[in-house]
Structures are given as C-alpha cells and as structure tokens.
C-alpha cells in the first residue's frame, strides 16, 4: 500500500492511496474520511481497511495538489549519522561501533515538490539522501528479531544540512533544524511491499540531474531492526515516530571543491520501490 498526504488548492487536506495506476482519496470533511496517517498509526488502524475506503474516493490529480510530508507531526524524528562506512570516512570519522543519534523537529519538515529554503545565514546547505523507517507499533526494549513487527512502512528523506551551523559545536542539532530543510516524502509505503527492513534497495541522490550519491541500503552499518532495537533500549518508541537511517558517501561538503546546493537547484532522492523525493532549492529572505 502507498499513501500520499496532500492539500487541495482550497486548503482542504486529505489522504490518498495508490492503485491501478492512479491515486484516489478523501479530504477532511468528506464522508468516510479516515483521518490523517499520524492519527491512523497512533490508534493502530487497519491500513488495509483504510486503503479500501480511500480507493472508493475521488481521483486525485497529483499535478493539482500540494504534497505534504506523509506524517506531519511525528512525536520523534530520530536521525542516524555516519551509518555508511564511505560517509564516515569522507566526513573524517571512524565508522562508529554504536549509532550516532541526533534529533530533528517537525518544524523543519517540508513535503515533496515544496522548496527547501537555503537560510540567509549560510551558503553551506548540503544534501543527504536517506531511507525513513516509520514506527507502527510502539514498544520499549524491543528484541532485534522482533523489531520489524514494529515498523509500519518506509519513506524517503533529504536531510538538508547547514554545515557551518552543524559544526559550530560538537552537537549537530542547530545545523539540522533550520526551517524547511528536512524534505520528507513523497509517500508512505507499507512494509509488506518491500524486502524485510527495506534492505538491499538502491538509493541515489541527484543534483540537477547529476548522480551525487549512489548506494544500497544493504550498506548500512546498523540496519533497520538493529536501530529499532537499540533506540528502544533508551526510549519508548511510539507509533508515528520516524527513524531517518543515515546517508551514504558523496555529500557536498566532502567534495573538492565542496558542492553545496544553490538557489535554483533541484535535488532528487530516489529509493528503489519507494519513489522519488524532488525538492527545488530557493533562497531565504
């Protein structure tokens, strides 16, 4: 199942499902509207039944609606740094023996097709294509062999990083949380449509059509079940939390000369069997 969160030109927000080559869905206020994906995951709704209901809705023309992040208010956005050996090496770090975890906040999120804004404070806005794992069932101290039972599905992230702010201190929070720098989408794909743990999927990031990152999710140092298990040792994971699983090598800051995103650029992150997350870059005021 593939779900898309959208907003019509009249401001009405809705949820759609993909089937038979088209999107069909319902808007808030329509009879039978099941609610947004955040609420559905939080209440443990049967997503197959939701998909069936949405499939009886109106056809959604993706060219006339605005894509929103699949989940607009995740309780936790847990990001994993240095989760590919080549990226650890290019960034000047030893590959970690334990996940490097930092947090993003929902105020930084932006949907597919919406602009990623380069802040006026910096010219060092970098791309990072990443797989997202979405928690569907909460828990604490989750064993690794049961961890995938807690994952509802997957999506794509571009972890836009303002590098000079990221490295102003040993903590990366500031450089990872400028408004509208965390692109998320274009859709949510249920776990049953992908290999276990979304392992072995090709991940490619393109800047203005040029491939700048090209890897497979099998290269992650800490795979999805390992991340779910280790994170749940520390905190209770809740339905609707998202884990942004890290980026492969090829980021702009490591290139010579550095390759940062500029106003007018278009960045695309494609993950096999999930889709393409497309983000134009504009200059902030």
Each residue of 31-64: pLDDT tens digit? 999 999 999 999 999 999 999 999 999 999 999 9
Rg (CA), the chain: 18
Residue 193: how many other CB atoms lie within 10 Å: 13
Q: Mean pLDDT, to the nearest integer, of 208-236?
A: 98
Whether the per-residue pLDDT at 93 is higher than 90: the answer is no
26: buried, middle or exposed (CB in 10 Å: 19+, 13-18, 0-12)? Answer: buried
Identify the CA nearest to 133 among candidates 91, 196, 87, 88. 196
Binned at pLDDT 50, 70 and 90, residue 187 comes out as: very high
For residue 148, the 8-state DSSP code is G
Q: What is the mean pLDDT of the chain?
A: 97
Return the pLDDT at 122: 98
**Average pLDDT of span 193-212:** 98
User: Residue 184 pLDDT more than 90?
Assistant: yes
Q: Are the CB atoms for 212 and 127 separated by under 8 Å?
A: yes
Residue 104 scores a pLDDT above 90: yes
The residue-averaged pLDDT of 117-130 equals 98
* Cα–chain center distance at 230: 20
pTM over 0.85: yes
8 alpha carbon, distance to own chain's centre: 22
Local confidence band at 285 (pLDDT 50, 70, 90 cut-offs): confident
3-state secondary structure of 193: helix
Please check whether residue 104 is in contact with residue 84, taking contact to mean a CB–CB distance below 8 angstroms: no
* Cα dihedral value 219, 224, 229, 231, nearest 10: 90
């Amino acid at each position: 199942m593939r779900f898309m969160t959208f907003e019509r030109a009249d401001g009405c927000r809705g949820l759609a499902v993909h089937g038979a080559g088209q999107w069909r869905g319902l808007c808030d206020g329509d009879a039978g509207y099941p609610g947004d994906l955040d609420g559905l995951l939080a209440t443990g709704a049967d997503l197959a039944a939701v998909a069936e209901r949405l499939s009886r809705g109106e056809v959604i023309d993706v060219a006339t609606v605005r894509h929103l992040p699949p989940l607009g208010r995740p309780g936790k956005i847990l990001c994993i740094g240095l989760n590919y050996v080549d990226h650890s090496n290019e960034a000047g770090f030893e590959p970690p023996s334990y996940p490097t975890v930092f947090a993003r906040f929902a105020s930084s999120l932006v949907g597919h097709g919406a602009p990623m804004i380069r802040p006026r404070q910096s010219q060092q806005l970098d791309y990072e294509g990443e797989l997202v794992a979405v928690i569907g069932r909460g828990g604490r101290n989750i064993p690794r062999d049961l961890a995938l039972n807690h994952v509802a599905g997957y999506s794509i992230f571009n972890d836009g990083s303002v590098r000079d702010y990221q490295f102003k201190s040993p903590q990366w929070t500031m450089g990872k949380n400028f408004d509208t720098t965390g692109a998320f989408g274009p859709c949510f794909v249920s776990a049953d449509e992908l290999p276990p743990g979304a392992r072995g999927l090709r991940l490619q990031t393109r800047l203005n059509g040029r491939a700048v990152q090209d890897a497979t999710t099998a290269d992650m140092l800490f795979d999805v079940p390992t991340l779910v298990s280790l994170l749940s040792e520390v905190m209770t994971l809740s339905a609707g939390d998202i884990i942004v699983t890290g980026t492969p090598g090829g980021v702009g800051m490591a290139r010579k000369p550095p390759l940062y995103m500029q106003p007018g650029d278009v960045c695309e992150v494609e993950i096999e069997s999930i889709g393409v997350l497309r983000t134009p870059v504009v200059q902030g005021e």
